[in-house]
Structure 1
């Protein structure tokens, strides 16, 4: 364990002990003797075993808030220590096997609940831990389904007034949850109407959700339309119309990811057959701004110019007529 991590561990464990032993002002009850003994042992031996480390950090997460107090400094420290504990947990759960151990020890449920905490900093840290736990980890994704975590996350995403950072973290948690998890993907598309919400985020003014959230929405939309072809056909002109706007963004990532999605959309014969001429002309008009002599963009590199040229070719290329309807098209379009 590094000296920096050791110092963080020591501070966290000392705080959790002091918060309930009378040396800090608090109206909560006394700590359970068994729990106190465990934390003291952790403090003395500077835990390196992941399972034991999880138990100590979970104890910090479960340290209750003082009731009836008005000490702002104490409340600030309370939030700070919770965030530090969540950050320490991140160092473990990025390992797939350790994330599964975290679920077995009950920590994952606690973190899921903390995504709804009243303090923004705690919510953001919890969302990051949640996303790290479920990423490419089927057993943890299954645990998240059992906890009904997707409706919790989607309700947050639909809410107004979150910071740009929190919107981005919610999208990170959703994306890592549903990727390669069929039950979660189906629930996202059908039960939560998640594709429509992603489209709203992509179409929104950059100031509403923030650039980072829009980047993540495009990333997730890319996964969905390449995994479920029926979705890209059902969205069709709606998605292309939104991308015609976002590809003119001054943000390089937003611009290039929008163009990548447009290339996928225009390469699909089913999409092209259903596309109105007006949408095609909108794309052409947007592409006209991609030139070395144009003044729309502050910075336009060779990659963007090459993608624009490829997109022009895709638009002008005549696709052969499709011969069959993709599976589930009617169901997805209806929902």
Structure 2
């Protein structure tokens, strides 16, 4: 089991006595697992002075004892951090905002390991983290969403649990309504981690009018929000091609085309990829692309001219080429596109 330093444990007194900030700073500098120790050793060893002689049994014993003294069970530390955070939330003091942020950062580092993410749920930690989603501080809210995304990512156990808890609807509401763009970005990140590669969550998202949620996110002036929402749309359509019907019926072709018809920016590569994915093997979406009022053919041709020979936009150029071929050249409507690769 990966281990953590004792000083990073559940003792919440660091912040309540003079020198608490210094203690917290020291805690962040200490190695949190054996990988950190190896990194520290490599960075602080002079190769010319290093000994290549076999380690004696006495030295091995000393080293093992030293490591055992430095480290303790991560689950115990996680439990302590959650308890500390819960206590702070109950006190609801404005001066505790930085402590909440620091604790959430520590928890997200712990939960980067899948077993710890499961343990957070088993420890009823989600009840604590979910309370942070309603915090008045955007800094706390986005960090809580980062914890949510981290524990959900590629973790079926957590995805199952949070689906039952109804966390998805909270993430959708925050992506729609929060007044902080960074919180919205992290809400879409949490949604993506909740949904991707989890069939039940994908279906629940679509039933909850998730495509409309993504459409609203795409209309943001924030490029990160646009990129994350279109990336999630593409992932859903690849995972569940039958979802294309619903996306097409609510006007997703018109939405994506309209976004492409704005001043060129970094989000357009992802928008073009999502549109290409939607029209692939979907005649109704192709028919929408051919609507004269969209003027998509000219838009794509102009875009290809604009980004021609610019290496950073070669993928977008390929998506535009594939769209032109698939939509406006007969006999190619059923081809697999580059957006599916």
User: Normalized against structure 2, the TM-score is what?
Assistant: 0.71
Find the counterpart in structure 2 of residue 198 from structure 1: 214
Find the counterpart in structure 1 of residue 320 from structure 2: 308
Find the counterpart in structure 1 of residue 270 from structure 2: 257
Measured against aligned partners, the alpha-carbon deviations of 1:68-104 in whole angstroms (never above 9, x if no partner) come to 9xxxxx724x111111111111111111111111111
Q: Aligned partners of 2:319, 2:293: CA distance in 1, in Å?
A: 17
Find the counterpart in structure 2 of residue 146 from structure 1: 164
Find the counterpart in structure 2 of residue 287 from structure 1: 300
* Closer/same/farther in 2, CA of residues 273 and 286 from structure 1, 3 Å limit: closer
Find the counterpart in structure 2 of residue 39 from structure 1: none
**After superposition, where does 1:88-103 map in structure 2 within 5 Å?**
88-103=106-121
User: Normalized against structure 1, the TM-score is what?
Assistant: 0.72
**After superposition, where does 1:233-252 map in structure 2 within 5 Å?**
233-236=245-248, 238-248=251-261, 252=265
Measured against aligned partners, the alpha-carbon deviations of 1:262-283 in whole angstroms (never above 9, x if no partner) come to 2223322433565363268522
Q: Aligned partners of 2:288, 2:145: CA distance in 1, in Å?
A: 38
Aligned residues of 1:89 and 1:129 also touching (Cα < 8 A): yes
Aligned residues of 1:150 and 1:174 also touching (Cα < 8 A): yes
Q: Aligned partners of 1:217, 1:75: CA distance in 2, in Å?
A: 33
Query: SS of the counterpart of 1:318?
Result: coil
**After superposition, where does 1:224-239 map in structure 2 within 5 Å?**
224-236=236-248, 238-239=251-252
Given the alignment, which residue of 79, 83, 86 partners 1:55? 79
The alpha-carbon deviation at position 54 of structure 1 amounts to 0.5
Aligned residues of 2:10 and 2:84 also touching (Cα < 8 A): no
**Count of matched residue pairs:** 279
Report the RMSD for the aligned CA atoms in angstroms: 3.3
Query: SS of the counterpart of 1:117?
Result: coil
Given the alignment, which residue of 196, 210, 213 partners 2:225? 213
Find the counterpart in structure 2 of residue 9 from structure 1: 8
Q: Aligned partners of 2:276, 2:176: CA distance in 1, in Å?
A: 29
Given the alignment, which residue of 121, 127, 132 partners 2:145? 127
Q: Aligned partners of 1:319, 1:110: CA distance in 2, in Å?
A: 56
Q: Aligned partners of 1:165, 1:127: CA distance in 2, in Å?
A: 10
Q: Aligned partners of 1:54, 1:309: CA distance in 2, in Å?
A: 51
Query: SS of the counterpart of 1:168?
Result: helix
Find the counterpart in structure 1 of residue 206 from structure 2: 189
Given the alignment, which residue of 61, 81, 85 partners 2:103? 85
Aligned residues of 2:97 and 2:137 also touching (Cα < 8 A): yes
Find the counterpart in structure 2 of residue 326 from structure 1: none
Moved more, 269-278 or 96-105: 269-278
* Closer/same/farther in 2, CA of residues 239 and 278 from structure 1, 3 Å limit: same
**After superposition, where does 1:61-80 map in structure 2 within 5 Å?**
61-64=85-88, 75-76=94-95, 78-80=96-98
Given the alignment, which residue of 168, 175, 181 partners 2:185? 168
**After superposition, where does 1:104-115 map in structure 2 within 5 Å?**
104-115=122-133
Q: Aligned partners of 2:252, 2:323: CA distance in 1, in Å?
A: 15
Aligned residues of 2:168 and 2:205 also touching (Cα < 8 A): yes
Measured against aligned partners, the alpha-carbon deviations of 1:236-285 in whole angstroms (never above 9, x if no partner) come to 27212222232345565411111112222332243356536326852213
Measured against aligned partners, the alpha-carbon deviations of 1:218-252 in whole angstroms (never above 9, x if no partner) come to 01111222223232223327212222232345565
Given the alignment, which residue of 283, 288, 291 partners 1:275? 288
